[in-house]
Amino acid sequence: MVKRSSRKRNRTIYATLMILCIIGFWVFENFYTPDLYSDPTAKNSTSLVPAELLPVSNSGEIVIHSNFMLSYMEPYEQAEWVAYALDQSHLTYDNRERPYYIEDPKVSTKSADWRNYKASGYDRGHLCPAGDRRFSIYAYNETFYTSNITPQKNEFNSGIWNELEKKIRSWCRQYKNKNLYVITGGVLEKGLPTIGEEDVAVPKKFYKIVVKKEGAEIDVLAFLIPHKETREPLINFLVTVDDLEEISGIDFFSEMPEEEESRLEGKIVTMPWSF
């Protein structure tokens, strides 16, 4: 009788512990987001983009980190745009150990879990490139928040997309006395294929806007690139900002004076840029 009672008590204890473990894992998975990458001592962003250059956020979920900012779109589980400043001081060759991808602690709805990408056939493609943020360990690691990544085919990520990132760094070195700003993302639209349990959308096209600014003088280039391998030159993917707005549904440069906005958005001007 005593043994039977002891076994029953042990089963109850084991069952209770199992339930507590399940609850603990569920709470950890759904409510705990580690804040490991941003510099806890940083008081201001080092990479804020001037207000007149920022796009409108279609979600209202704007997240500002020390080294880039973004507008997060929960239905697509990624950013509709990431914006950051780039200057020569950012372009170092410091070796950095790649950290784990983790959820963004500043996204109110939680950014997508990195496991959505596992065995999906897609790279975790950076929007703000880690290569642009080697100047500090915090800046580098921040780019590994999952709010800053998007599903990309490897041949695209390591091909034309990487080529464009390198070209922008080249411009940054070349135009060292001017301020460079980059706005980038995937074109998010209904009906996109998805990956993972959280249905992370896979964009069919990606864009970058590069702004070169010196005082009141502003030059702009906009790229729209299909999400596939290509050997075409970058210049073939230039579009007007007006066309990009229509395709992406994002309003760029809305805070600019109307005349200046029309000048920058209505045509492609390659003269101030070197290809």
Counting the structural domains of the chain, the total is 2
The predicted pLDDT at position 139 comes to 94
* Whether residue 153 sits in one domain with residue 260: yes
Residue 50 and residue 142 in one domain? yes
Across the strands, what pairs with 86?
180
Do 132 and 201 belong to one domain?
Answer: yes
Say how far apart CA 179 and CA 222 lie, in whole Å.
Answer: 17
Q: Please report, for the domain that includes residue 99, its CATH number.
A: 3.40.570.10
Residues paired with 183 in a beta bridge:
83, 209
Q: At what angle do helices 241-248 and 258-265 cross, to 10 degrees?
A: 90
Domain residue limits at 168: 38-265
pLDDT in tens, the chain (275 residues): 545 566 666 666 665 666 655 554 443 444 444 556 777 666 666 568 999 999 999 999 999 999 999 999 999 999 999 999 999 999 998 999 999 999 999 999 999 999 999 999 999 999 999 999 999 999 999 999 999 999 999 999 999 999 999 999 999 999 987 899 999 999 999 999 999 999 999 999 999 999 999 888 999 999 999 999 999 999 999 999 999 999 999 999 999 999 999 999 999 999 999 99
Residue partners of 153: CB distance under 8 A and separation at least 6 = 121, 122, 123, 227, 228, 229
Please indicate, yes or no, whether residues 26 and 115 belong to a single structural domain of this protein.
no
pLDDT at 8: 62
